[in-house]
């Protein structure tokens, strides 16, 4: 009985060390995933439709969200000719 106590203490120490290691690894892993996800967040991406960015833009119309999604501005005018194409719900 007398010799069991040090072994229990050693076991507890090893268990505590292991728990700390697991905690450190978990935090490190979480931070790695978090950083990767942040780095890939759409706010850091390039525009997906550069071809249509040549339209006129007003200051009001150049609103861009925190997520990097730009609505830009619509440019419309009255028409006096027959439509070439139709917009509709698909």
Question: What does the binding site for other proteins look like in residue numbers (CB under 8 A)?
Answer: 33, 36-37, 39-43, 45, 48-58, 60-63, 65-79, 81-90
Furthest-apart CA atoms within the chain: distance in Å: 102
The DSSP code for 70 is B
How far apart CA 59 and CA 62 sit, in angstroms, is: 5
CB of 9 to other proteins, least distance (A): 39
Closer to other proteins by Cβ: residue 6 or 74: 74
CB of 19 to other proteins, least distance (A): 24
Closer to other proteins by Cβ: residue 3 or 87: 87
CB of 23 to other proteins, least distance (A): 21
CA distances 5 to 11, 14, 47, 58, Å, are 10, 14, 66, 78
Closer to other proteins by Cβ: residue 6 or 78: 78
How far apart CA 3 and CA 7 sit, in angstroms, is: 7
């Amino acid at each position: 009985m007398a010799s069991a106590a040090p072994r229990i203490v050693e076991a507890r120490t090893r268990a505590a060390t292991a728990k700390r290691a697991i905690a450190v690894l978990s935090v490190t892993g979480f931070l790695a995933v978090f950083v990767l996800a942040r780095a890939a967040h759409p706010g850091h991406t390039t525009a997906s439709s550069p071809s249509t960015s040549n339209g006129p833009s007003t200051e009001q119309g150049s609103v861009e969200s925190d997520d990097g999604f730009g609505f830009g501005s619509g440019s419309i005018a009255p028409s006096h000719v027959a439509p070439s194409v139709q917009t509709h719900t698909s």
